[in-house]
Copies of this chain bind each other. A is one copy, B any other.
Amino acid sequence: MRIIRKPADLRRRVHQAKRRGKSIGFVPTMGALHAGHLSLIRHARRDTGLVVVSLFVNPIQFNNRADLRSYPHTLARDARLAFQAGADLLFVPSAREIYPSDFQTFIEVTRLSRRWEGKLRPGHFRGVTTVVAKLFNLVQPDVAYFGQKDAQQARIVRQMIQDLSFDIRLEVLPTVREPDGLAMSSRNRRLPSEARRGAPVLFQSLQEGKRLIEWGLRRETAILRRMRQVIRQVPGVRIEYIAVVDPESLEPLRIVKGRALLLLAVRMGKTRLMDCCEVR
């Protein structure tokens, strides 16, 4: 149970653990931990010998400075929660340490980054894959844990692991939700109370889409029409995208045949919310 700030220190401890035959589990986070993160940490605790949690608010994945500035910083609370959930090491590097002034190396997963979040937040996924690869090299995990909630991110990280032959198993774990269905997110705490009351409509819309597909509806347009109707029950929700996509390519499915992924991003006031749901 230790907070580590220096990459060299992290490396020494990871090497030590590996020499003792321990496997390494890794949960990368930007802090502001919630039940979704804790579920990842608990899985890592169960599966691996040394559980490393990183806490780094990655500046290069924010395309919006205001969003970066307002991102919550709650280290003392995060450390307590992470250790309670089973973390061995909390890696909290400085931005200077991760991005020295001459930093200039970037990783891009091209096709999968084009649509959805990638389109609305130019450079976002380049920032994600770059920092995740760097953290992979620092932590050298056997297993890395990501949440299904950021479905496009998880898919992109999987592609990067495969394309660059990282010797890492990726575990993507189910979205953890509030009792009313709202997906856990660090951004939820920014919702004014009225918006918070309306926010479960995202989950309801996804559930409706899933039900329709399971009942045999196949046409994208019909599925999305009904999903939009559900969202419109709550005033003040602006849809940024809503889509039925192939879970591998993330390209829109005109007709659902096998598996499908429902993706959804909205704005409620100044807060962006995303959610998704897989249908088999």
Contacts and interface: CB of A to CB of B under 8 A. Distances in A.
A13 B110 CA distance: 32
Interface in A100-154: 100, 102-112, 129-130, 133-134, 137-138, 140
A166 B11 CA distance: 11
Which of A130, A159, A162, A165 has most B Cβ within 10 Å?
A: A165
A112 B107 contact: no
Given A163-B134, A165-B134, A129 B108 contact: no
A9 to B, nearest CB: 13
A67 interface: no
B165 A138 contact: yes
A268 interface: no
Interface size class of A (residues with CB under 8 A): 20 to 34
A25 to B, nearest CB: 18
Given A104-B159, A159-B105, A11 B167 contact: yes
Contact of A167 (B102, B133, B140, B164): B140
A105 B160 contact: yes
Leading 9 A-B pairs by shortest Cβ distance? A105-B163, A137-B165, A104-B110, A104-B111, A105-B109, A138-B165, A105-B160, A134-B164, A134-B165
Interface of A: 7, 11, 100, 102-112, 129-130, 133-134, 137-138, 140, 159-160, 162-167
Given A104-B111, A108-B108, 20 more contacts: A100-B162, A103-B163, A104-B110, A104-B159, A104-B163, A105-B108, A105-B110, A105-B160, A105-B163, A105-B164, A106-B107, A106-B110, A107-B164, A133-B164, A134-B163, A134-B164, A134-B165, A137-B164, A137-B167, A140-B167
